[in-house]
């Protein structure tokens, strides 16, 4: 049985430990929701999870799809564009140890990109990132 | 006129359906419509309701020339629900349900076409 929480810890650890990304989005990496007051950050969120039941009762691998996006307040495009590129460099087809998950990473890959602008009252927020699929096989 | 259907995914399915004989396309259309309706119902049930606009915006689009019934979400803020805002968490609803529906559609169309005696090859996940 694969522990998805441990997979998420590893994924977020990869992002949070990168000094280049931290310099671009200094408020940090959060799961689902940023802390109050954060204005430049990374959000990781589970988008989909599935097994392939046709093969070995689904115990052969598990696919986890995560939304990983840079979020920044304001209209300045430079930091968020650089952050999007940095996230991609850190994740797409990367290697990643998954300690405590009961599984090993087979692959992590970019699936699709997202970009949108949110207006909340007088504030403008930019969201840029992608969904990444992690295929994990039980050890 | 195609006598074989080679399945490898939903995108390929849409392409191959266009090349099928009319009888095969007619046989697959009910399966696709049923899957689209099921997905529509699941998404509508899962969507949060505040004004009802989000739920009412989940619609079936019948793409007759390709024999494909698709479901779409049309509320102008659907992406903010799916991917989140600066202060609200993402709520992944449409994409995971649509992914599962696409996989199920490929399997259902393969079965419908096989019942007509056509050969179906390829992966169906």
Mutate to test the interface with B, among A33, A73, A126 (most CBs of B within 10 A): A33
| Cβ contact A105:A134 at 8 Å | yes
The pLDDT-based confidence of B90 (bands split at 50, 70, 90) is very high
Over residues B104-109, mean pLDDT: 80
Q: For the domain that residue A40 is a member of, what is the CATH number? A: 3.30.2000.30
B75 at interface of A, judged by CB pairs closer than 8 A: no
Contacting residues of B for A33, CB less than 8 Å apart: 84, 87-89
Looking at residue B44, what is its pLDDT?
94
Domain count, chain A: 1
Between CA B76 and CA A84 the distance in angstroms is: 24
| B53 pLDDT higher than 50 | yes
Residue of B nearest to A35 (CA): B87
> Residue A11 above 90 pLDDT?
yes
Spatial distance between the Cα atoms of A54 and B125, rounded to a whole number of angstroms: 8
- Smallest Cα distance from A13 to chain B, Å: 20
Q: List the domain range (segments joined by +) for residue A49.
A: 4-138
The proportion of chain A whose per-residue pLDDT surpasses 90, expressed as a percent, equals 84
pLDDT score, position B101: 87
Question: Where does the pLDDT of residue B63 fall: very low under 50, low under 70, confident under 90, or very high at 90 and above?
Answer: low
Q: What is the pLDDT of residue B58?
A: 93
Q: What pLDDT, on the 0 to 100 scale, is given for residue B2?
A: 42
pLDDT tens string A86-139: 999 999 999 999 999 999 999 999 999 999 999 999 999 999 999 999 999 988
For the stretch B7-50, pLDDT in tens is: 556 667 667 766 776 766 667 778 888 888 999 999 999 999 99
Pairing of strands A29-31, A62-73: unpaired
- Find out whether B103 and A53 touch, Cβ atoms under 8 Å: no
Chain length of chain B: 125
């Amino acid at each position: 049985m694969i522990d998805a929480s441990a997979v998420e810890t590893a994924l977020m650890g990869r992002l949070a430990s990168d000094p280049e990304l931290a310099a671009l989005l200094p408020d940090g990496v959060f799961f689902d929701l940023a802390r109050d007051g954060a204005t430049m950050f990374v959000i990781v969120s589970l988008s989909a999870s599935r097994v392939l039941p046709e093969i070995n009762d689904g115990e052969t691998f598990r696919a986890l799809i995560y939304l990983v996006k840079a979020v920044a307040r304001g209209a300045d495009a430079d930091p968020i564009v650089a952050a999007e590129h940095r996230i991609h460099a850190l994740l797409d087809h990367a290697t990643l140890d998954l300690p405590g998950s009961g599984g090993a990473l087979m692959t992590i890959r970019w699936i699709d990109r997202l970009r949108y602008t949110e207006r909340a009252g007088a504030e403008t927020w930019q969201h840029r990132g992608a969904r990444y699929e992690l295929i994990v096989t039980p050890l | 006129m195609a006598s074989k259907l080679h399945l490898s995914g939903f995108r390929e399915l849409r392409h191959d359906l266009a090349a099928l004989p009319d009888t095969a396309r007619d046989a697959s259309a009910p399966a696709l419509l049923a899957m689209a309706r099921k997905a529509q119902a699941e998404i509508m049930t899962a969507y949060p309701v505040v004004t009802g606009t989000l739920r009412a915006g989940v619609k079936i689009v019948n793409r007759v020339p390709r024999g494909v019934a698709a479901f779409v979400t049309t509320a102008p803020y659907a992406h903010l629900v799916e991917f989140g805002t600066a202060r609200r968490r993402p709520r992944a609803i449409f994409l995971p349900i649509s992914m599962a529906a696409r996989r199920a559609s490929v399997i259902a169309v393969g079965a419908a076409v096989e019942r007509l005696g056509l050969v179906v090859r390829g992966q169906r996940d």
